[in-house]
A and B are shown apart, each in its own frame.
Chain A
């Protein structure tokens, strides 16, 4: 019985991990710093979370569809340099649109590789990661471009509605919209079906390839958005801007509870993961914890959460795609006893 209680506790811990983490960070930050629980800090945590947030948000449907996109950082760099480069050529707003369009375009390339050429997404996006990171350097001759109109993007990070800035507001709205889409609309539900079991979804008349392709394009869109916002708000388009973004984005999504195996996840969980990670980073930074020590903490947190998840959900749960094609009910479900 004791064992059972422990398991239940673990299950609850996993279920409410975001709340627990956010509260823990708030308590830790509040106790160790005088100025942590202030409007200013909240605003800055939210604002800082935005860029990784967009990337993580874009990654969410991809992971739900059972795929992975390693190229988000490269897409972001490409979008950023496009935006800044195009500013003097076609004007500020069209240039921003062009940046996002570049993200979408590369997303479409990923979709093409995965859906049409049937290359495993891990390999395909590793290749596009290399290709577009390299292209970004070649196009700019490795030099960050500086904006001709540095003032244009500044309002993005200005004060706006209490703890928000315009870009963090857009991020929050995007996360909520995505939540509504994923949970409440048929296409959203179909995406889960595709990630959970693509062949079953196909046989129900769902165009699984279409959904997978769309998820990559969407990821491109969000990476484009991230690159565009980042470049405008820093008034610079750096070819290496996205190079360090992949790991925090994946970490945030996974901490939120979306699984790499597909079929599960939510954009609000991702939002939570992004915020928890962002708040933790800020709290640690303010305490003067060196970045490598922070890396140790986040790494341990990641391992802890996923191990806990694993242990709580039982060893019977399949851990890979191939294993889940064995369509059996989890062994720990009670036996049906219907013949009275």
Chain B
């Protein structure tokens, strides 16, 4: 946990003036931006020079940026994988050049993870699993649910869908997926799709798995408009302020909180530890905190 890495930033002298290249997912994004800020803060604190380059959600761009970081000969690389596989060649090059790579927020594929020294972040696959457990538990493993997924092909969507489906299967859950729609992490699209879902299934919808709180909000908006008075179990992810309100009002069942700023800090601290030659665990977890009516008043929203 956090305690392991706190020691990492303790002895800053040895990395002072070294350079880190950080291939981030995006520059402008509710979760990623605070994470970038956290990374910057940790780098500043340690006196390392941090260059942030953004792949803008494109694994292809990111793979090229990774190569470019390697050829610059930086001392360490922090990578936010946008999909599982695309970074393998760049990681091999980094390995050859002796540049340590740490991944943040999202895991890369298994082969890639072998070349990555450590992973700091909440496990999105895990988040999918948690969502499955939440829904299954709240519905006693019976009834129809709809899945409002993110952008098709997007790494986060893939992890959250994968964890969710795998967990339902391994639990032998009795939940029945009525429909899956992609709403691209967009509230308006989720709203439009949810209206149609509600029209089609009505109160057959016992549960909703929205892959982020924005889309959960879209569903709730559609539900409100419909005037129907059934209350499905809505599970979201991200810990947005809006979701906290909805949980308090009993409209949403739960969300998963992962503090982005801390995620960034943690990742840089881990990387610095690696650069110093310390051994770090394969995974430095950012706690996935489940937020529901029981603890909503004790926690701060992530964004």
A/B contact in complex, CB under 8 angstroms: yes
Interface of A toward B, CB cutoff 8 Å: 35, 40-41, 43-44, 47-48, 51, 137, 140, 142-144, 146-147, 150, 153-154, 157, 230, 233-236, 238-241, 243-245, 282, 285-286, 288, 290-292
Q: List 9 A-B contacts (CB under 8 A).
A: A41-B71, A44-B72, A137-B152, A234-B60, A234-B63, A238-B60, A240-B152, A290-B52, A292-B28
Give chain A residues whose Cβ lies under 8 Å from the Cβ of B58: 240-241, 243-244
5 closest A-B pairs (Cβ-Cβ)?
Answer: A236-B85, A142-B152, A234-B86, A240-B153, A146-B85
Pairwise interchain contact A241-B60, C-beta atoms closer than 8 A: yes
Which residue of B has the minimal Cβ distance to A235?
B88
Task: Write out the residue numbers on chain B whose beta carbons fall within 8 Å of the beta carbon of A292.
Answer: 27-28
Q: Which of A140, A143, A157 contacts B67 (CB 8 A)?
A: A157
Interchain nearest-CB distance for A232 vs B (Å): 9
Q: Is the CB of A285 within 8 A of B67?
A: no
A154: which B residues are within 8 A, CB to CB?
A: 89, 92
B153:A137 contact, CB within 8 angstroms: yes
Residue of A nearest to B70 (CB): A44
| B84 → A minimal CB distance (Å) | 6
Name the residue of chain A whose CB is nearest to the CB of B60.
A241
Decide: A240 and B154 in contact? CB cutoff 8 A.
yes
Knowing A238-B59, A238-B86, the reply to whether A44 touches B68 (Cβ < 8 A) is yes
Contact (A44, B60) CB under 8 Å given A235-B88, A236-B83: no
B221 proximal to A (CB < 8 A): no
Say whether A142 contacts B92, CB under 8 Å: no
Q: A236 near B86 (CB under 8 angstroms)?
A: yes
Chain B positions 27-80 with a Cβ under 8 Å from a chain A Cβ? 27-28, 50-54, 56-61, 63-65, 67-68, 71-73
Shortest C-beta distance, A42 to chain B (Å), equals 9
* Shortest distance between the CB of B110 and any CB in chain A (Å): 9
Picked from A51, A140, A235, A243, the residue with its CB within 8 Å of the CB of B89 is: A235
CB of B229 closer than 8 Å to a CB of A: no
CA distance A285 to B58 in the complex (A): 15
Question: Please, how many angstroms separate the alpha-carbon atoms of A239 and B61 in the complex?
Answer: 14
Contact B59 A236 (CB under 8 A): yes
In Å, the complex CA distance between A240 and B15 comes to 38
Chain A, residue nearest B58 (CB): A244
Of chain A, the residue at the smallest CB distance from B74 is: A35
Which residues from chain B sit less than 8 Å from chain A, CB to CB?
26-28, 50-54, 56-61, 63-65, 67-68, 71-73, 83-89, 92-93, 109, 111, 152-154, 157-158, 182
Report whether B86 and A144 are in contact in the complex, using a CB–CB cutoff of 8 Å: yes
Beyond A40-B71, A48-B67, A234-B88, list 8 extra A-B contacts (CB 8 Å). A41-B71, A44-B67, A137-B153, A143-B153, A150-B85, A238-B60, A288-B52, A291-B54
Instruction: Please name all residues of chain A whose beta carbon is closer than 8 Å to the beta carbon of B56 when the two chains form the complex.
Output: 244, 291
**Listed residue (B27, B52, B89) with the most chain A CB atoms within 10 angstroms of its CB:** B89
A177 to chain B, nearest CB (A): 24
Measured in the bound complex, the distance between the Cα atoms of B157 and A236 in whole Å is 17
A230 to B26, CA, bound (A): 21
Q: Is the CB of B72 within 8 A of A41?
A: yes
Residues in A with CB closer than 8 Å to B65 are 48, 285
- Residues on A with C-beta less than 8 A from B71 are 40-41, 43-44
What are the residues of chain B within 8 A of A48 when measuring CB–CB? 64-65, 67-68
Q: Which residues of chain A are within 8 angstroms of B89 by Cβ–Cβ distance?
A: 150, 153-154, 157, 233-235
Which residues of the other chain, A, contact B67 by a CB distance below 8 angstroms?
Answer: 44, 47-48, 157
Check if B72 sits within 8 Å of A286, measured CB to CB: yes
Across the interface, name the chain A residue whose C-beta is closest to B182. A142
**Across the interface, do B84 and A236 meet the contact criterion of CB distance under 8 Å?**
yes
For residue A147, which residues in chain B have a CB less than 8 angstroms away from its CB? 85
User: Complex formed: what's the CA distance from A47 to B89 in Å?
Assistant: 13
User: Known: A144-B59, A153-B89, A290-B54. Contact between A35 and B64, CB under 8 A?
Assistant: no
Smallest distance from the beta carbon of B106 to chain A beta carbons, Å?
Answer: 13
Name B110's closest neighbour in chain A (CB-CB): A146
Which A residues lie within 8 Å of B109 (CB)? 146
Least CB separation from A51: chain B residue: B60
Determine the residue in chain A with the shortest Cβ distance to B33: A290
Q: Which residues of chain B are within 8 angstroms of A47 by Cβ–Cβ distance?
A: 64, 67
Q: Which of A35, A140, A245, A290 has the most CB of B within 10 A?
A: A290
Given contact pairs A41-B71, A43-B71, A288-B51, A238 touches B64 in the complex (Cβ within 8 A): no
